[in-house]
Amino acid sequence: MATSWTHTTVLLNEAVEALFSNAEPLPDGAPALPEVYVDATFGRGGHTRQILARLSPAGRLVAFDKDPDALVEAAHIHDPRFSIRHQGFSHLGELPHGSVTGLLMDLGISSPQVDNPARGFSFRNDGPLDMRMDPTRGESVAEWLAHAELDQISEVIRDYGEERFAGPIAKAIVARRQERGVPATTLELAQLVAGSVKTRESGQDPATRTFQAFRIFINAELEELRQALEASLNVLQPGGRLVVISFHSLEDRIVKQFIAQHSREEYDRRNPFAPPKVMKLVAHGRIKPSAEEVARNPRSRSAIMRVAQRTAA
């Protein structure tokens, strides 16, 4: 019998409430804009279903997801207001200019992807060393490690995993490749990494940072996030909400800096008499899961939600 991999949506009510809380009214005489929301990372549809429950009869909800399993789950939603694209959210820019009322990005990896060993994300359960969000496209981690240079492997582990033992881990991987080929499974890689990491924070598996690094790299997650954030400025309506949930410091830093950059007026130092570039976003702070949510779902403990609103500029 097939296993049913479940997912508990993080900050479910908080995210949807922030998405619908358009604090800035339209200017007097401005026509009402169509109600179009975007769930940029469908996952298993937790946020999508909650958005549909709040959506007007004339509204629309567009979702994006790379994972074919997400499309299977989306097929269970029989609502004419809903559609999904088998694409990463870097394709947000393909939506019409100024067409989106609210945009939600729930970043990172879903529980079913981690819990299903066949997806190759977990260092606790043995499976093929894959880690692709969309296993029908691109290289798996094992395929990439088969040809990657030592310096590239080390750089990926250091930059995307913030791993101080990146050099020794990369050398161990290359030595293993020369002797017997690259690790073919997740547990083989985890054991190899554990032998190269001298110390680790209490309670953290030695392979945690390396697995994070390879997953982020193989799926181009940070590059896709940057593209999607830039596209949000084009597709959001005036007053439209941007809600982003991140789960590690690399993601959150990008989101925080992006909102900060576009939430202030910029002056041209070379031309002090020129009018400043107007800000494009209004920041509405950050939210973390409650103690009750973390107790129910420990995987939510690192989540940070940031909210911003598109200005009329």
Adjacency order of strands within the sheet including 281-287: 82-85, 60-64, 36-39, 100-106, 236-246, 304-310, 281-287
Top pLDDT among 158 and 27 is at: 158
- pLDDT bucket at 281, cuts 50 / 70 / 90: very high
Average pLDDT of the residues in 230-241: 96
Average pLDDT of the residues in 83-108: 95
* Lowest mean pLDDT across 105-109, 149-153, 164-168: 105-109
**Token representation of residue 137:** 């496209």
**Token representation of residue 110:** 């879903």
Residue type, 241: R
User: How many angstroms separate the CA atoms of 10 and 289, rounded?
Assistant: 8
- Alpha carbon dihedral 191, 150, 171, 204, in 10-degree steps, equals -40
308 has pLDDT over 80: yes
Average pLDDT of the residues in 193-202: 82
**Token representation of residue 51:** 């958005």
Strands 36-39 and 60-64: parallel
Q: Which domains does the chain have, with CATH numbers?
A: 12-111+221-310 (3.40.50.150), 134-218 (1.10.150.170)
Average pLDDT of the residues in 273-292: 83
pLDDT at 1: 34
pLDDT at 31: 53
193 has pLDDT over 60: yes
The whole-model pTM stands at 0.89
Q: Mean pLDDT across the chain, nearest whole number?
A: 89
pLDDT at 113: 80
Residues contacting 101, CB < 8 A, separation 6+:
22, 33, 34, 35, 36, 37, 59, 237, 240, 241
Average pLDDT of the residues in 246-250: 94
pLDDT at 290: 94
- pLDDT bucket at 144, cuts 50 / 70 / 90: very high
pLDDT at 23: 46
Average pLDDT of the residues in 136-145: 95
- pLDDT bucket at 124, cuts 50 / 70 / 90: confident
* Beta bridge pairs of residue 306: 244, 286
Residue type, 207: A
3-state secondary structure the chain: CCCCCCCCCCCHHHHHHHHHCCCCCCCCCCCCCCCEEEECCCCCCHHHHHHHHHCCCCCEEEEECCCHHHHHHHCCCCCCCEEEECCCHHHHHHCCCCCEEEEEEECCCCHHHHHCHHHCCCCCCCCECCCCCCCCCCCCHHHHHCCCCHHHHHHHHHHHHCCCCHHHHHHHHHHHHHHHCCCCEHHHHHHHHHCCCCCCCCCCCCCHHHHHHHHHHHCCHHHHHHHHHHHHHHHEEEEEEEEEEECCHHHHHHHHHHHHHCCCCECCCCCCCCCCECCCEEEEEEECCCHHHHHHCHHHCCCEEEEEEECCC
User: How many angstroms separate the CA atoms of 130 and 148, rounded?
Assistant: 15
Residues contacting 27, CB < 8 A, separation 6+:
312
266 has pLDDT over 80: no
Kindly state the percentage of the chain with pLDDT values over 90. Answer: 75
25 has pLDDT over 60: no
Average pLDDT of the residues in 176-201: 91
177 has pLDDT over 50: yes
Q: How many CB atoms lie within 10 A of CB 224?
A: 21
- pLDDT bucket at 5, cuts 50 / 70 / 90: low
User: How many angstroms separate the CA atoms of 200 and 108, rounded?
Assistant: 23
